[in-house]
Structure 1
Amino acid sequence: MNKTVASILVLLLGGVFTSYAQTKADSLAIRRAALDYIESQHKPDSAQMARCLHPRLVKRTFWKYPRQSREYLRESHADEMVMLAASYNVKGDKFPATPRKEVVLLDVSSNTASVKLYADDWIDYMHLAKLNDEWKIVNVLWQFNDVKRHQ
Structure 2
Amino acid sequence: MKRLNAAGLALVMGAASLGANAVPCEPETCTALKAVALDYIDGWYDGNAARMKQSLHPQLVKRALGPAGNEGALDEMGADGLIFYTGKGIGATTDPARRRAEVTVLDVSGDMAAVKVVATDWVDYLQMGRFGANWKIVNVVWERHPPGK
Matched position secondary structure for 1:39: helix
Any gaps of 5 or more consecutive residues in structure 1? 1-20
Matched position secondary structure for 2:93: coil
Contact 2:65 2:71 in 1 (8 A): no
Out of 61, 65, 69, the position equivalent to 2:64 is 61
Any gaps of 5 or more consecutive residues in structure 2? 1-23
Partner of 1:34: 37
What letter is aligned with 1:78? A
Contact 1:62 1:74 in 2 (8 A): yes
Residue-pair matches, total: 125
What is the CA deviation profile of residues 39-93 of structure 1, one whole-angstrom value per residue up to 9, with x for unaligned ones?
A: 01111111000000000000001226xxx85632110000001111111347x43
The percentage of counterpart residues that share the same residue type is 35
Structure 1 residue ranges (4+ consecutive) displaced by more than 3 angstroms after TM superposition: none
Give the RMSD, CA atoms, in angstroms: 2.3
Partner of 1:71: 72
Out of 21, 25, 38, the position equivalent to 1:22 is 25
Matched position secondary structure for 1:71: coil
Partner of 1:105: 105
**CA–CA separation in structure 1 for the residues paired with 2:95 and 2:55:** 21
> Superposition pairs for residues 1-151 of structure 1, below 5 Å?
22-63=25-66, 69=70, 71-89=72-90, 92-146=92-146
Partner of 2:10: none
The structure that has the greater radius of gyration is 1
